[in-house]
Amino acid sequence: NAGVTQTPKFQVLKTGQSMTLQCAQDMNHEYMSWYRQDPGMGLRLIHYSVGAGITDQGEVPNGYNVSRSTTEDFPLRLLSAAPSQTSVYFCASSRVSNTEAFFGQGTRLTVV
C-alpha cells in the first residue's frame, strides 16, 4: 500500500520562483489537507479539501493555491516563493475530517 505519496522530498527555490508540491493518495479518502511544520510552531493547516472540486482555506493560506480535480490528487502551488515559506510541508488524507489522518513523508522546501 502506497498510502500518501509526496513529491519531491527536497527542493531549493529562489525567491520569486513558482513550483507545485505534489500529493497523491490511493485510499479513496475524501478529505485531504496540506500542513507546514516549522520549529516551535507545530503543524499549521494551509488548505484542505472535503472532496473533489471543493477546497477551503486553513490557518495560513496566503501565498499558496490548491485545487482538487480528482479524489486522488491534491497539489499545492507556491505562486511566488518567499524565504518565509521555507518549511517542511506535509500532505494528509482521511476518510472524513474527524477520523485518523494518514500523512505523507513530507517535502523539505528551502527558499533562498
Which residues are at the interface with another protein (CB under 8 A)? 4, 31, 33, 35, 40-45, 48, 50, 56, 58-59, 90, 92, 97-106
CB 66 within 8 A of CB 49: yes
Please report how close the Cβ of residue 56 comes to another protein at its closest, in angstroms.
Answer: 7
CB of 104 or CB of 111, closer to another protein: 104
Please report how close the Cβ of residue 59 comes to another protein at its closest, in angstroms.
Answer: 7
Q: Grid coordinates representing 92?
A: 494528509
Torsion, CA 96, CA 104, CA 54, CA 11, rounded to 10: 170
Please report how close the Cβ of residue 51 comes to another protein at its closest, in angstroms.
Answer: 11
C-alpha neighbours within 13 Å on the C-beta side of residue 79: 6
Please report how close the Cβ of residue 14 comes to another protein at its closest, in angstroms.
Answer: 25
CB of 69 or CB of 105, closer to another protein: 105
Query: Can you say how many angstroms the Cα of residue 86 is from the centroid of all Cα atoms in its chain?
Result: 14
